[in-house]
Structure 1
Amino acid sequence: CKAGQPKFKATRRMNDAHPIEEVGEKLRGMMPWIKSNALVDKAKN
């Protein structure tokens, strides 16, 4: 159903811009072992 899609996408964009997402991205960047143990190969998927 696409009736709620605009609101859903707007909410997702708003959540992506939340400060905690920026902090999380910085913290994940400081943890190189997370990438080495990735379950999904982003080059393939």
Structure 2
Amino acid sequence: METLQKELELLQRQRAASEQAALNEKQRQNSGGVWGWLAGSSPSP
């Protein structure tokens, strides 16, 4: 049973990390990054 608990915690941490990475990627795409800035597009506030 302890093994299942540890596996569940590991899966939850992986899922949280995956969701955070997806959120970071979405924010990066919205900002246009350096290339968008160089191209002259200003990110919306």
With the length of structure 2 as denominator, give the TM-score of the two structures.
0.37
Structure with greater proportional helix content: 2
Tell which structure's C-alpha radius of gyration is larger: 2
> Please, what TM-score do these two structures have when normalized by structure 1?
0.37
Query: Higher relative CO (CA 8 A, sep ≥ 6), structure 1 or 2?
Result: 2
